[in-house]
Amino acid sequence: MELLDVEPARIWRLLIPITNWLYTDEVPEDELIFHYRKHVYFVHEDGAVLSIPAPDHLERLELEDLYDLLAGSEDSYDFDDEGVFDTFSVLSRMGYLVPTKHEGDRHHYHIEIVNTMKPESLSVSYDLEQVSFEFALYHALMRCHELNEQCDWDYEHEIKEIKEVAFSQLG
């Protein structure tokens, strides 16, 4: 799956179980609102993420009421304002755990990561065996974070592609 030009909300949808998504009929496709571990997260079209503690009776709130809570909350957290820009950092702060699936959902994946600030540099690629797609995506986001840390955030590494490969194609 090509991921370099995929909207941030789509990446989040690949990670967060559909049962956690909120207001799916009302929120534009390039945004996502979801709940996870007693918080509500708002993913904007540019990838910015905000969160608030999940209110009581969340399931009874209208979308407009939730936006009002976000606007008026003293407990809101704007990841961008706090200097948290990459998806893996947000996932870490959330306490995200990759969902586990039964053995039949595991495959072999080839992952390619590129430096978007210096495209002429070598890409990083590696293989993962017998993992779920969600785990491969999570691992690739973690690797991007590590590469960004290693270059002191002067460059931005992103996932170019995660593709399923046959076991015999792994090197």
Q: How confident is the model at residue 168, as a pLDDT? A: 61
**Cα R_g (the chain), whole angstroms:** 17
Q: How confident is the model at residue 148, as a pLDDT? A: 94
Q: How confident is the model at residue 133, as a pLDDT? A: 94
Distances (CA, A) of 32 to 2, 15, 83, 132: 20, 12, 21, 22
**Where in the chain are the domains?**
8-94, 103-169
pLDDT averaged over 10-residue windows placed end to end, the chain, 171 residues: 95 96 97 98 97 95 96 95 94 91 82 93 93 95 96 94 81 54
Q: How confident is the model at residue 100, as a pLDDT? A: 73
* Terminal alpha carbon distance of the chain: 20
Q: How confident is the model at residue 166, as a pLDDT? A: 86
Predicted structure pTM score? 0.91
The 10 Å Cβ neighbour count of residue 16 is: 21
State how far the Cα of 43 lies from the Cα of 40, in Å rounded to an integer. Answer: 10
